[in-house]
Amino acid sequence: MTNSTRLALVPAVLALALVALAGRAGAQGTKPASAPAPKEREAPEQPSWWPARSKLRWRYEGKLIVEATTKKILYEVATKDKETIGEREAFALEASAGPRVLSSEWYAFDDAGLVLLVRHKAGDEAARDLEPAQTFLDTSQLVDGGKWSWQSKDGLEDVKGNFVKNERLAGRDGREHACAVVETHLVARAPGGKTQHEQKRTLWLERGVGLVREVTTTTRPGAPVGEATRMEVDLVRVEARE
């Protein structure tokens, strides 16, 4: 696949940590001075909207529409071992169809809720580091009016994202998913500034699961509307990665 038809990939089912209930106080009266004060317990960490740090594998089914031709597509996404890219700890997601690797993407996370795309590799092409790291998702902005944006250092690519709504979705995996729906709009330009292609993506994301559904349309300036490429995929299964 080329950069103009990047797949958005996702991962993982994370378990919520359980917080033990504090024991009820015993008999009434003054506590002995030697009794230690109960420690305040921290709230359990919320599962990630983009859980690339989990050792899981996701299977997707859908269709790819190019001009008047519709093709069924099947692929899977698997997390890979982490590695250090620059000063960031990054987690790779690899999409494949049978023995063929479609794309690999490396993501990093920060404490402010940003999910950063730091490296991208399509098919047999050389891996490309993004400079600065692309703000793929700002989880702090998954609220009404939430927005985020990114521009490449050379100014040839920019992405704008926004929160759309919360939606309960009946998935093709037989489950009902509580999703945050987001949209992103990528514009890629030639060195002279002319737009090469635009890509609009709508993503349905669930905490601890990641991508449940995606609809992506890629167009080129001057091309008839019927020549746009449209991809629609749904999660059908998630399983542990060996």
Query: pLDDT tens, 65-78?
Result: 988 899 999 999 99
The reply to whether CATH 3.40.50 applies to domain 3-12+46-240 is no
Give the confidence band of 242 by pLDDT, cuts at 50, 70, 90: confident
∠120-126-131 over CA atoms, to 5°? 45
Residue 24: per-residue pLDDT: 30
pLDDT at 4 over 60: no
3-state secondary structure of 140: helix
Whole-number Cα distances in Å, 9 to 92, 157, 238: 10, 20, 13
Distance between CA atoms of residues 181 and 214, nearest Å: 10
Q: Which residues contact 153 (CB under 8 A, 6 or more apart)?
A: 131, 132
Q: Which residues contact 235 (CB under 8 A, 6 or more apart)?
A: 10, 58, 59, 60, 171, 172, 173, 209, 211, 212, 213
Closest alpha carbon to 72 in 239, 238, 231, 237: 231
Measure CA 61 to chain center. 17
Give the confidence band of 46 by pLDDT, cuts at 50, 70, 90: confident
Q: Six-digit token pair at 208? A: 């601890």
Instruction: Between 194 and 30, name the one with better pLDDT.
Output: 194
Give the confidence band of 221 by pLDDT, cuts at 50, 70, 90: confident
Closest alpha carbon to 8 in 86, 120, 89: 120
Distance between CA atoms of residues 47 and 121, nearest Å: 27
